[in-house]
Amino acid sequence: MTRIRAPRGTIDVFPETPGIWRLLEETVRSVCRNAGYAEIRTPIFEHTELFQRGVGESTDIVEKEMYTFLDKGERSITLRPEGTAPVVRSYLENKMWAGPQPVKVYYIGPMFRYERPQLGRLRQHTQFGVEALGASSPALDAEVISLLIRVYQCLGLEGFVVRLNSIGCSKCRPRYKESLINLLSKHVDELCGDCQRRLLRNPLRVLDCKNERCTSLAKELPPIFEYLCEDCSQHFDGVTQCLKALNLVYELDPTIVRGLDYYTKTVFEVVHSGLGAQDALGGGGRYDGLAEELGGTPTPAVGFAAGIERAVQVLQDAAGEEAGRDACGISVFVAAMGDEAKLQAFRMTHTLRKHGISTDIDYLDRSLRSQMKYADKLGVKKVVIIGEDELRGDYAIVRDMATGEQTQVPFCNLVKALT
C-alpha cells in the first residue's frame, strides 16, 4: 500500500505556524471591524459562469486555472479562484443595494487555482480581502489601501512597498490601448513571443512583462496618465490626495495592470522583496463595471485581496521558525505512580480542568522520571506528584518547576493552591 499524500499544491498548517495564522486572522478581523467592515462568508463553490463573466473569459484564471467539474445534476461548478466576484454576486442576490451604502465587507477563506506550485503559489491558498460596494468616492479607494497597510503594520511587518496606478475606464482605456498597439507595432520583432501575442489582445500586459527587452521598450512608452479621461484623472488625483493626507507612502507604477478583467481606475499592489518571484503580498483596485457585468444595476466598488500564506512566509522569515509554534499552553502536569494513584490523578486532572486550570497527565505508563521529563518538555509551571505515600497521607506534592521548590498540599486544597 502506498501512503496517501496531500494533493499537489496543498499544505497542512501544522504544527509550525498556527500561531502566526491565528494572529494574522485576528488582526484582519479587528482592523476591518474597526473601519466598519462586517464579515461575509460566501460559498466555496459557485456556478462556473460567475467567474467566466466576472473575472473575464480571456484571463489566465478562467482560461486554464479553474477547478471546474460537473456535479450530479450536470451543473458546471467551480471552486472559487478569487473572492470578489462571489461578493458582488451576493450583494446583488441579497439586494444589499437596498440598504445603506456603501456596503463594506471583509472575508477570510480558501481559494483554488490549478497551477504549478512554486514559492508563494499553491493550488489551495487562503486570502483575506475587503470589498466596499456602492460608492465611487476616491476616499474609499484610499481607505481600502490603508486597511491593507494597517494589517501589515499591526503585525509589525516591514519592508513592503505600495505600488499604485490607474488603468482608466471603458471611455479612456481603449484610446490608450490603441496608441500602445500603434507604438509597439513598430517594434514587434523586439518583443518576446508572449508579448507579440499579447499585443492585440491586451497590450497593457506588455507593460509588466519581465523580459528585459520588453521592459526597456515599455519604459519608452507614454504613461497612461496622459490618456486618462477627465473623470478618471480627477478620481486618481483624489486617491493620491487622500493617501497623502494619511501620510501613506506609495510609488506610482504605470506597469501594474492586474490580470483580472474587472478592474477600472485605481489598481494597486503591495509587494515584498522576501517573496521570490511571486512578490505580491496583496493587490486590488476599483471595479465599477463588475456588478453590471453580472446582471445587476451598475454599482461602483473597490477592494483588495491578500495572501495569508505569503504574509505568513514573510512574518516567519522575520521572526524565526519558533515564533509561530502553537504552544499547548498546559500549566499543570499530574504525575502518578501506582494504579491507585493513577486513577486518583486521572480524576484530579479533570477536576482541575473544570476549575479552568489547564492540566495534562501521562498516558504511556511512564516512570516518574520520564513523567517529569515529559512535564518539562510541555513547559508546565507546576507538577502535582502522587504516589502511595501521598494517598495514605491524603495530600499531594506540588513542585514548582522553575525553582524546584516542593510543598505538601492536602487534596482538598489543591485547586486553590494551583489557581
Partner RNA sequence: GUAGAUGUAGCUCAAUGGUGAGAGCGCUGGACUGUGGCUCCAGAGGUUGCGGGUUCGAGCCCCGUCAUCUACCCCA
User: Site residues for RNA, window 208-247 (CB under 7 A)?
Assistant: 208-211
CA dist 96 and 109 (Å) reads 21
Q: Is 288 in the site for RNA (CB under 7 A)?
A: no
Q: Which of 46, 82, 131, 143 binds RNA (CB under 7 A)?
A: 82
State which of residues 16, 190, 194, 231 lies at the interface with RNA (CB under 7 A). 194
Report the relative pairing of strands 103-112 and 38-39 from DSSP bridges: parallel
Identify residues 335-394 at the interface with RNA (CB under 7 A). Answer: 337, 364, 366-370, 372-377, 383, 385, 387-390
Residue 122 or 184: the one with the smaller Cβ distance to RNA is 122
CB 223 to RNA: min, Å: 18
Q: Which is nearer to RNA, 403 or 419 (CB)?
A: 403
x/- mask, RNA, residues 291-310, rule CB under 7 A, reads --------------xxx-xx
Measured from the CB atom, the residue of 227 and 374 that comes closer to RNA is 374
Give the other-Cβ count within 10 Å of 150's Cβ. 20
- 8 vs 350 by CB, closer to RNA: 8
Q: How many residues bind RNA (CB under 7 A)?
A: 71
Residue 265, interface with RNA (CB under 7 A)?
A: no
Among 141, 143, 269, 360, binds RNA (CB under 7 A): 269
The grid coordinates of residue 80 equal 472559487
Shortest distance in whole angstroms from residue 245 CB to RNA: 25
Q: Nearest distance from residue 9's CB to RNA, in Å?
A: 6
Q: Per-residue contact track with RNA, 40 to 59, x per CB under 7 A? A: -------------------x
Q: Which amino acid is at 219?
A: K
To the nearest whole angstrom, how small is the minimum distance from the Cβ of residue 67 to RNA? 12
Which residue from 355, 174, 165 is spatially nearest to 258, judged by alpha carbons? 165
Give min distance, CB of 407 to RNA, in A: 11
Return the range that interacts with RNA (CB under 7 A); candidates 34-42, 240-248, 269-277, 317-325: 269-277
Kindly state the smallest distance separating residue 386's Cβ from RNA, in Å. 7
Strands 264-272 and 76-79, by their bridges, are: unpaired
Binding residue (CB under 7 A) for RNA from 358, 406, 407, 413: 406
- Whose Cβ is closer to RNA: residue 1's or residue 98's? 1
Within residues 116-155, the interface with RNA by CB under 7 A covers 116-122, 125, 127
**DSSP 8-state class, residue 268:** E
CA 300, CA 50: separation in Å to the nearest integer? 18
Q: Which residues share a beta bridge with 358?
A: none
Give CA 131 to chain center in angstroms: 14
What separation in angstroms does the CA of 313 have from each of 16, 22, 118, 407? 12, 14, 13, 46
The CA distance from 230 to 239, in Å, is 14
d(CA 352, CA 13): 30
Are 358 and 311 in contact, with CB atoms under 8 Å apart?
no
Provide Rg for the chain, Cα atoms.
28
Would you count residue 277 as binding RNA (CB under 7 A)?
yes
**β pairing state of 395-400 and 124-133:** unpaired
In the complex with RNA, the residue whose CB is nearer, 170 or 367, is 367
DSSP 134: S
Give the rounded distance of the alpha carbon of 371 from its chain centre: 40
